[in-house]
Structure 1
Amino acid sequence: MNRLNPIVCGLRCRCPTCGQGSLFRGYLKVRSRCEGCGADFSRADSGDGPVVFILLIVGAIGCFGMLFVEFRFHPPVWLQLLIWLPSIGLLTLAVLRPFKAILIALQVHNGASEARHDN
């Protein structure tokens, strides 16, 4: 069977098994089953993984941008806040869903499961 690339499926927010069905039912709520192939996602959990990556990547972009603008143009503090707080917030929201989908797709691709199964 031809295995799908989990990164591509994650970026597209599609089912990591078939690549067709949507992985999410809402903005961040994962479907319990794929609408295309019926794959079970009820136990799929990305945990805090996406937040860690976003914190490092978006934080670095925001800090670099803020320092660059400060040293190059010397704007007032209120203007810096007006520019960078919404920018960092929007960038965070833009990448949160794909990062979560990538981590879930990597879980499915590698056959990872929860370490503890409560009955």
Structure 2
Amino acid sequence: MARHVTDADFANQVLASDKLVLVDFWAEWCGPCKAMDPILEQVSTDLADTVSIVKLDVDSNPSTVTQYNVRAMPTLMVFKNGEPVDIKVGAGQSRAQLIKWLESHAA
């Protein structure tokens, strides 16, 4: 299950993680974000051993949003060894596409 992170614990939960981390930058008012939720939940279960999936509410956490120049929701950003390594903007990825994308960075 994806857990929520904030500006306050982003560095500890994402940047210091020894796993690959997918950050879902989302907003409560964002319909496409809500559409991605079930897919992200499935992927978080499928890849629980190798990938952490976290959600960051853009409205409540402006520092992290500004730091990573997030301008559209949903934005999915992959972090490896504390650095952003890839990004997808918008909904529309299937479970299989997300798994393939994440596995390409986990290697």
- What TM-score do the two structures reach when normalised by structure 1? 0.22
Q: Which has the higher helix share?
A: 1
Using the size of structure 2 for normalisation, the TM-score is 0.24
Name the larger-Rg structure: 1
- Judging by fraction of residues, say which structure has more strand: 2
